[in-house]
Amino acid sequence: MQYIKQATPHHDYSLSITFESGSAMKYSMSQFLHQLRFAPLRDFKVWLHLEVFPTRLEWNKGAHQVTLNIEELIPHQDKK
């Protein structure tokens, strides 16, 4: 299992994410902002207030908490 080490929000609503393993990825959130779940992130002050936990990212500023779990960032791979 990978764990999130660091995440940085960018002005284009993308995230630069680094994992404890040393791997990194860029993840765009712009296509999700129309969904009710992620709508609070349209407020740029909320977007920039990101908290990083090993298995999730959270935005706790504003009226509603938004959580993005690591399972949503990394596609599930079936064990063979």
- The structural domains of the chain, ordered by start, are 4-73 (3.30.2020)
Q: Which pTM value belongs to this model?
A: 0.87
Residue 67 in 3-state DSSP? strand
pLDDT, tens digit, 9 for 90 and up, residues 9-24: 999 999 999 999 999 9
Give the model confidence (pLDDT) of 1-57 as tens digits. 789 999 999 999 999 999 999 999 999 999 999 999 999 999 999 999 999 999 999
Per-residue burial over 44-75, b if 16 or more Cβ lie within 10 Å, else e, is eebbeebeeeeeebebebeeeebebebeebbe
